[in-house]
Amino acid sequence: MALRLGDTAPDFTAETSIGKLSLHEFLGNSWGVLFSHPADFTPVCTTELGTTAKLTNEFIARNTKVLALSVDGVASHHEWIKDINETQNTQVNFPIVADEDRKIAELYDMIHPNASATLTVRSLFIIAPDKTVKLIITYPASTGRNFQEILRVLDSLQLTANYSVATPADWKQGEDVVVVPAIKTEDIPAKFPKGFTEVKPYLRLTPQPNL
């Protein structure tokens, strides 16, 4: 059965470009981003891993660890990393998991037979510190991922995990957020002293509470 939001991210132990690691142990108390790639030395993936490496400080600021995964082996990963560093003008400093037997890909439902019987599609999972899956996005192999959107979702997930708010369409860090319906309008001032705007009884906006 495919993973669903709220499920525990399956743990695994695997060889990676930085040595053997176990997912849950590697993540510790951090958030995690696990994303798959159809194969090493593929063009779109090369740009994706380069982009991710350039965003290292952004992920660190969000207490988030990143792992990539490909169905090729560690030796291939090391050669591919050289190409990524050269062509993308960066330094890959996160592990690339070797999944030659495709066990992890099967565990996370990263292989879709309608697309390919052997290669992973572009699946991405955000995993919370309690090891539950908070986001699942799957792109076709021909479309590179938008990593600014991944950072935006991380900001939203981390904010809404700590406050009784939700984030509206196209929300970005620093913008107003939505007060969840479970909070009565008369109780908002005590919980959100920055004030609020009632657009409709079910749509109440308040400044981002953690800024």
* Active site members: 45
- Judged by phi (left if over 0) then psi (alpha if -120 to 50, else beta), residue 79 lies in alpha
Helices 147-160 + 43-54 axis angle, to 10: 50
pTM to 2 decimals?
0.93
Q: What is the structure's pLDDT at 31?
A: 98
- Residue spans in the chain of domains classed CATH 3.40.30.10: 13-145
Question: Which amino acid appears at position 76 of this protein?
Answer: S
**How confident is the prediction along the chain (211 residues), in pLDDT tens digits per residue?**
588 999 999 999 999 999 999 999 999 999 999 999 888 999 999 999 999 999 999 999 999 999 999 989 999 999 999 999 999 999 999 999 999 998 998 899 887 665 555 565 689 999 999 999 999 998 888 889 999 999 999 999 999 999 999 999 999 999 999 999 999 999 999 999 999 999 999 999 999 999 9
Answer whether 35's CB lies under 8 Å from 120's CB: no
| Burial of residue 101, with CB atoms counted within 10 A of its CB: 0-12 exposed, 13-18 middle, 19 or more buried | exposed
Q: What is the structure's pLDDT at 55?
A: 98
Task: State the residue for tokens 């076709």.
Answer: 140
Q: What is the structure's pLDDT at 181?
A: 96
Instruction: For domain 13-145, give the fold.
Output: Glutaredoxin (3.40.30)
Q: Which CATH superfamily groups domain 163-206?
A: Antioxidant, Horf6; Chain A, domain2 (3.30.1020.10)
Q: What is the structure's pLDDT at 173?
A: 95
Task: State the residue for tokens 């988030």.
Answer: 64
- Residue spans in the chain of domains classed CATH 3.30.1020.10: 163-206
